[in-house]
Amino acid sequence: MGKSPTTPLSSLRPATRAVHGGRHPFDHHGFVNPPVYRGSTVLFPDLDTLESGNQRYTYGRRGSPLMSALEEALCGLEGGQRTVLTSSGLAAITTSLLAFVEAGDHILVADTAYRPARTFCDGMLKRMGVETSYYHPDMGEGITALFRPNTRLVYAECPGSQTFEMQDIPALARACRTRDLYLLVDNTWATAIYFKPLAHGADVSINAGTKYIVGHADAMLGVVTASERAAKPITKALWELGNCAGTEEMYLGLRGLRTMPLRLERHWRAGVEMAEWLQARPEVERVLHPGLPGSVGHAIWKRDFTGATGLFSVVLKPASRTQLAAMLDGLELFGMGWSWGGYESLIVPFDPVGYRTIAPFTHEGPALRLHIGLEDTADLQADLAAGFERMRAAA
Ligand SMILES: *Cc1c(COP(=O)(O)O)cnc(C)c1O
């Protein structure tokens, strides 16, 4: 906060909170940003303090003023009880799942969830005696039909990875409440700026900070924000697992957060503009973007979300691999690579056909996921238009 923090942050709007959350300049001689505290060992002044358990910071992995600043800022935005940071988005997912399950439990995971989350459930969780079943993203309150006596939690991601199916999170939350189950939501796409899972009844909001929070493709970071009843299990799991975010990464996350609302607004507008442009192209079969009027899931998006970001997919009309390669290999502005959420535009082919079991995704032509960065959309359109031209020429 600035000089006179008399207005409670909770009464301020998200963009303001992103700028002021977790800031205590006069704890740091007035400098706008906290310093990077590098350290493992934290010293205690005397035996009494060491034994008292009252010293705020005790060990690098467990906390630092920099860690507190980022946790506090993100926790305020998500409206949670406690936020913890992890070394990556995937670590945020695995930590969250491990916080609530034990051998003999059953969990429900959206068939449209981020694939590595699924790999963890089918691999390590299975070996530990936790059974996963996958559910259709359209289930809503009907998910109660899949509850078993040993079901512990529901893991959702909204919209779905790569294919952008929306889910009715409030309905899932109502279903979970009938049986005291935990509802976990991967909120990476919308971020806390555009969707607040906890306010819609979830217990845990998970974010790959690697994406929009860091925002510059230069660090890995995970964020878990817990409701009051989930805070203790989450913190305990994190500490037992020994996971923590790196110092530099936390600083980059905090730095990215300050401009995130502004960047998101641009990613959103440019994303919609590009999606509409693509929708009108003869090479495009369909566009998967919940923020587009008329798209599947748009009604839920409109009801629960306050914005969209720059990530969406398209399915092209049938084209050969040679044609696809001609298009992608010649792109000058769109990069080809994993992750997203940085300032730069990306494009990657994807194919969930092989692993989804409940909500099969069918496509005849190539499926491409695009991240629209902060470039001028006219230049991005020209890059893609030239790509379509190469595609046609390679037929
Ligand atoms: C990228 C991503 C993750 C994983 O984040 P990492 O930091 O790459 O481990 C988790 N969930 C979603 C939806 C993602 O897109």
pLDDT digits (tens, 9 = 90+) for 185-222: 999 999 999 999 999 999 999 999 999 999 999 999 99
Which among 88, 90, 206, 250 is the best mutation to test ligand 1's pocket, defined by most ligand atoms within 8 Å of the CB?
90
Distance CA 42, CA 248 (A): 18
pLDDT digits (tens, 9 = 90+) for 84-107: 999 999 999 999 999 999 999 999
**CA-closest candidate to residue 370, choices 395, 394, 346, 343:** 346
Instruction: Indicate which residues carry an active-site annotation.
Output: 61, 114, 186, 211
Which amino acid would we find at residue 106? H
pLDDT digits (tens, 9 = 90+) for 367-387: 999 999 999 999 999 999 999
The SS3 assignment for 367 reads strand
Which tokens sit at 375?
A: 């470039």
Q: Give the model's confidence band at 5: pLDDT under 50 very low, under 70 low, under 90 confident, else very high.
A: low
The SS3 assignment for 295 reads coil
pLDDT digits (tens, 9 = 90+) for 36-54: 999 999 999 999 999 999 9
Distance CA 124, CA 109 (A): 15
**CA-closest candidate to residue 189, choices 77, 299, 327, 307:** 307
Distance CA 388, CA 316 (A): 10
pTM listed for this prediction: 0.97
pLDDT digits (tens, 9 = 90+) for 356-367: 999 999 999 999
Which among 114, 118, 216 is the best mutation to test ligand 1's pocket, defined by most ligand atoms within 8 Å of the CB?
114
Give 73's DSSP letter: H
- Could you identify the atom of ligand 1 that is nearest to the CA of residue 157? 13
CA distances from 302 to 10, 138, 292, 305, 392 (A): 24, 16, 10, 6, 37
Q: Which residues lie with the beta carbon below 6 Å from any ligand 1 atom?
A: 88-90, 93, 114, 157, 161, 186, 188, 208, 210-211, 220, 222, 339
**Torsion angles phi and psi, residue 171, rounded to 5:** -65, -40
Distance CA 147, CA 150 (A): 8
* Ligand 1, atom 4, residue with closest C-alpha: 89
